[in-house]
Amino acid sequence: MLKSLNTLTAYVIGVLIVWAVIFVVGYFLKGSTPGHPVLHVFGGFLLGMLSMYIATRVYPSRRSGSGA
């Protein structure tokens, strides 16, 4: 049986799948656009994901039952 994914990993994979769907639908509905503005937004999103990943490693959440 597969090892279950942690919540952050599952979230990132789910969001990347949604972005892929947005790219595909946008391409088929609007075609290629000058400047590719969605790619700029996606780049900012990736920086945000990287920041979130680093923050979860630097400041891990407290586990329930730790008495705090």
Mean pLDDT per 10-residue interval, the chain, length 68 residues? 70 86 85 76 86 86 60
Question: Residue 31: its pLDDT value, please?
Answer: 80
Q: What is the pTM of this model?
A: 0.62
| DSSP letter assigned to residue 32 | -
| DSSP letter assigned to residue 66 | S
H or E element that contains 10: helix 7-30
Question: Residue 1: its pLDDT value, please?
Answer: 46
d(CA 3, CA 16): 20
- The residue length of the chain stands at 68
The closest alpha carbon to 46, from 15, 6, 9, belongs to 15
